Amino acid sequence: MFTRKTIKPQGKFIFITGASSGLGRETALFLAQQGFQVFGGVRRAQDGETLAADCKSGRIKPVIIDVTDEQSVKAAASQISDTVEGQGLWGLINNAGICISAPLECVSSQLLRHQLEVNLIGQLAVTRAMLPLLRTSQSARLVNVTSGLGTVAIPYLGAYSAAQFAKEGLSDALRRELAPMGITVSVVSPGAIWTPIWGKIALEGEQALSQAPTEVSALYRDTYLNFLRFNEQGARDSRTMPADVAAAVFSALTSEKPKTRYRVGADIRRGALLARWLPDAILDKMFRPIVTPVPSSKEQQHV
């Protein structure tokens, strides 16, 4: 029987950003449990203390980092370098991210810049800072966590999709540029999963509507709020769990020949196929109900 060769995690150092909650926290704890020495990137010292306390193996060391702050990124790299010394860093998992959801007409330039700063520009800043440590290690791994929305863009998540599409492209270029150095690059793309990010999505989306001109927000409010409810319920009902994402990241870090892409969840695998094979006109028709107002009860009576 064929058995895929794997690399033992014991004694190897990895760094994961966005480890204070959600997918990042679950992945950090899982990787530490499997034997990795984990640097968990968090923005607040309190989150780092909680993360370390919840790690039964004691193999998580919190690192304070704001991926949008170059000085913070450099300080994190220096801290990690002092710990790993000549061994280097086996893996970097770029997981930190936010999701800005709103009709694009209601997304201010400031909001869009913030989305791109966190999910794209900050990811490259972290990668640049950690590459010398990755090169020190033999056959190091770079894992970029994106989303199913990096393959298919849907209404009211355009800003987030723009960042994720760009991160997919960044990953492809990095994979080809770093291959001669022995660094493999994998993308882990989760589908819908219930995590604390959903509460933030609704709050920030409603704020974006409130900051747009009234005549503009009125055009979208009903369909957008309905979309938020439907999307959140879809995440709650999803059978994909954070543990599935953690397992995919672990595979990317330990497989002798890691995949270039790990699609986690039936919905993202289905979406990738549809995006590849269906014409744009058919995809547009599939998404049309999202932006189509639901008739009121009075309107339905007159139909």
Active-site residue 160, yes or no?
A: yes
Whether the per-residue pLDDT at 267 is higher than 90: the answer is no
Structure tokens, 187 = 């993308």
pLDDT digits (tens, 9 = 90+) for 19-42: 999 899 999 999 999 999 999 999
Q: How many CB atoms lie within 10 A of CB 200?
A: 16
Q: What is the mean pLDDT of residues 137-160?
A: 90
What are residue 252's phi and psi, to 5 degrees?
Answer: -65, -30
Of residues 118, 121, 240, the one with CA closest to residue 189: 240
pLDDT digits (tens, 9 = 90+) for 219-240: 999 999 888 888 777 666 667 7
Total residue length of the chain: 303
Q: How far from chain centre, in Å, is Cα 293?
A: 31
The letter for the amino acid at 301 is Q
Residue scoring higher pLDDT (278 or 64): 64
Separation in Å, CA 114 to CA 59, 117, 163, 206: 32, 5, 10, 17
What pLDDT score was predicted for residue 12? 96
pLDDT digits (tens, 9 = 90+) for 46-94: 999 999 999 999 999 999 999 999 999 999 999 999 999 889 999 999 9
Structural domain boundaries in the chain: 13-289
Whether the per-residue pLDDT at 197 is higher than 90: the answer is no
- In a 3-state reduction of DSSP, which class is residue 141? strand
Q: Which residue has the tokens 């990137």?
A: 41
- Sorting pLDDT into bands at 50, 70 and 90, what band is 278? confident
Q: What is the DSSP string of 219-274?
A: HHHHHHHHHHHHHHHHHHH----HHHHHHHHHHHHHBSS--SEEEESHHHHHHHHH
Task: State the chain's mean pLDDT as an integer.
Answer: 89
Q: Report the half-sphere exposure of 286 (CA within 13 A, side-chain side).
A: 12
Question: Which of 160, 220, 224, 262 does the annotation list as catalytic?
Answer: 160
pTM of the model: 0.90
Whether the per-residue pLDDT at 200 is higher than 90: the answer is no
- Sorting pLDDT into bands at 50, 70 and 90, what band is 114? very high
- In this structure, which topology does domain 13-289 adopt according to CATH? Rossmann fold (3.40.50)
State the Cα–Cα distance between residues 253 and 14, nearest whole angstrom.
Answer: 9
